[in-house]
Amino acid sequence: MTRFGTLALAALPLALAAPALVAAQSSSPLSQVQAHLKAVDTMTANFSQTGRSGQTLNGTLTMKRPGKVRFQYQKGVPMLIVGDGKALTMIDYEVDQVSRWPIGDSPLSVLLNPNKDLTGVAKVTRNDGQVLLVQARDPKKPEFGTITIAFAKVPSAPAGLMLEGWTTIDAQNDRTTIKLSNQRFNVRVADSAFRWTDPRRRGPRG
């Protein structure tokens, strides 16, 4: 990985109808998370990323399910991460390097696929009146690492949950934490948001 570390590789107000909220609150925590994922087609947010070195980078997150995501880093950071629905691509414009792998090989697939069955890969590690933490790890693919997703319990948010961020631990035991702010759900997001310029040939991709 680059000197900037890894970004979860190894994720406004929207009031829901009362029946949907009641159903989410009366179901199991994992079912509530699943309901949240299904209720959110798009999301935008600001993010801060802190890696093992303690360095923090900021940027904007754009997500469109299934499978599309863009991490646009702050000015001066020549790196971009884009998911096009099939693969995640990390582009380092300083060294003109492109790395690409299937979305299913990343812990982020838990957030990007609203139809993913969480019961076999996820467990609840905290569930109280304010916070719900869910840790996901594919037992068949331990080399892909783990992701712990943090939700705040907000009645007006989709299925009563607000995605606050996540922490990933990769196969080398490197920890990366993402914190979100200014979350907005189900806003208009064009597919063009997930295009990127290939530094190896300076042409648009996606």
Check which CATH number belongs to the domain holding 126 and give it. 2.50.20.10
Rounded mean pLDDT of 32-61? 96
Strand order in the sheet with 68-73: 97-102, 87-92, 79-84, 68-73, 56-64, 42-50, 175-185, 161-169, 146-153, 131-136, 122-127
Q: What is the span of the domain harbouring residue 88?
A: 18-186
Asked if residue 50 has pLDDT above 50, the reply is: yes
Q: Count of domains in the chain?
A: 1
Q: Is the confidence at residue 40, as pLDDT, over 90?
A: yes
Structure confidence at residue 167 (pLDDT):
96
Residue 43: inside a domain? yes
Position 197 in a domain? no
Q: Where is pLDDT greater, at 202 or 46? A: 46
**Mean pLDDT over the full length of the chain:** 85
Q: What is the pLDDT of residue 9?
A: 43
132-188 pLDDT, tens digit each = 999 998 777 777 789 999 999 999 999 999 999 999 998 888 999 999 999 999 999
pLDDT computed for residue 205 by the predictor: 67
pLDDT higher than threshold 80 for residue 29: yes
CA 7/CA 10 separation, integer angstroms: 8
Tokens of 130: 């304010």
Backbone φ and ψ of 37, nearest 5°: -60, -40
* Residue of 174, 120, 186, 112 lying closest to 149 (CA atoms): 112
| Residue 6: predicted pLDDT | 46
One-letter amino acid identity for 24? A
Identify the pLDDT of residue 19: 32
How many angstroms separate the Cα of 127 from the Cα of each of 20, 37, 168? Answer: 20, 18, 19
- Per-residue tokens: 34: 């699943």
Q: What is the largest CA-CA distance in the chain?
A: 53
**85-109 tens-digit pLDDT:** 989 999 999 999 999 989 888 888 8
Q: How far apart (Å, rounded) are the C-alpha atoms in residues 164 and 151?
A: 5
Mean pLDDT over 9-16 rounds to: 30
Is residue 199 in a domain? no
Residues 77, 57 contacting (CB under 8 angstroms): yes
Residue 75 corresponds to which amino acid? K
Which of the four pLDDT bands, split at 50, 70 and 90, describes residue 1? Answer: very low
